[in-house]
Amino acid sequence: MTRMTGHTDGLRVKIFADGANVAEMVELAQDPIISGFTTNPTLMRKAGIDDYGRFVKELTTTITDRPISFEVISDDFAEMERQALALRDFGENVYVKIPVTDTTGRTSVPLMRRLAAAGVSVNATALMTLAQVREVASALAAGPPAVISVFAGRIADAGVDPVPVMEAAKQELRAHANLELLWASPREVLNVVQADRIGCDIITLTSDLLAKLALLGRDLEDFSLATVRMFRDDAIAAGYEF
């Protein structure tokens, strides 16, 4: 994989790689532009992961100098707590992803508060409203470093501009030095620029978006010409006639 250093000069937002391909994640760990890693059960299923414990152990044994977030997989709060404590014990760089609610909509805030008190670094995930940000921030403010992941891309999918939401979320977290705001589910490289402008701490990028970082700052006339050439080359390669 081509390193992305040089296309991100001047960015303050930290880039976390989002995925579940072990070989790719280990390779990305050699790239200084990658500040951390996240994964989730959906990405793991797509990557064909069939042994969660082995997956966690392999990554935490290989990547020890940057944060990695792993998600609990239960829908029962007591079992979530057990899994969170077990995941925490894999390494000091482990953050445990706790969904903001269970699948029936019951809040996970009391669980997050208990985990923070137990010294677990929580990555609160699947947030989409400012009310959720406030509640989660209150639960995690007195604990160790934690991340609040707001799914800006899905907010945009609902037809809502995520930038004002993320700006307001950042303001909510300014009083809490241990909490970082993560722009989750980005859809395009523009989101990296937007996250950086509003002072978002972290943005997660899947492999397809990491590859597109090479386009950041590209001259648009040059990009236009490259696009014209691509269309022409594809027409020739297809042997089209009219």
The catalytic residue positions are 97
User: DSSP alpha helices (H): ranges in the chain?
Assistant: 22-28, 41-46, 52-62, 77-88, 109-117, 130-140, 152-157, 162-173, 190-197, 207-212, 220-238
Q: How far apart are CA 229 and CA 225, in angstroms?
A: 6
Contact 116, 151 (CB under 8 A): no
Q: What are phi and psi of 30, to 5 degrees?
A: -85, -10
CB under 8 A, 24+ apart: contacts of 153-160 = 153/184, 153/185, 153/186, 153/187, 153/191, 154/128, 154/185, 155/128, 156/187, 157/187
In total, the chain counts a number of residues equal to 242
Q: What are phi and psi of 148, to 5 degrees?
A: -115, 110
Contact 140, 124 (CB under 8 A): yes
